[in-house]
Amino acid sequence: MSNKGFAERLNKELDEIGVPERCEERVEILAKLIKVPKFKAEAILNGNTSVEPPLLKLLADELEVNIDWLLGNSDKRHN
């Protein structure tokens, strides 16, 4: 899956858990959640960068979703 597809699934999951849609708030919340700088969180949310495996695992764990679902390799959302 492309970075854009990953970002779509990530944003969908953030919507599901009630993270505000406003860009600034969403960036700040994601940055705190996975402990990255805001510029990196924004790039991830916009699909402008790929996510390294350790960060991907952390993100999936924090959101309680299947890594393969985030990557678009599975329709199984939860483990």
Which domains are present in the chain?
Answer: 3-71 (1.10.260.40)
Q: How far is CA 44 from CA 2, 29, 64, 71, in A?
A: 12, 13, 18, 13
| Residue 1 confidence (pLDDT) above 80 | no
Q: What is the pLDDT of residues 30-39, one digit of tens each?
A: 999 999 999 9
pLDDT value at residue 78:
80
**Which pLDDT score, from 0 to 100, does residue 75 have?**
85
Cα–Cα distances in angstroms (integers) from residue 77 to residues 29, 32, 37, 49, 72, in the given order: 21, 23, 27, 22, 10
pLDDT computed for residue 13 by the predictor: 92
Q: Is the pTM of this model over 0.85?
A: yes
One-letter amino acid at 62 equals: E
Question: Average of pLDDT values for 55-70?
Answer: 92
Mean local confidence (pLDDT), 58-63 = 92
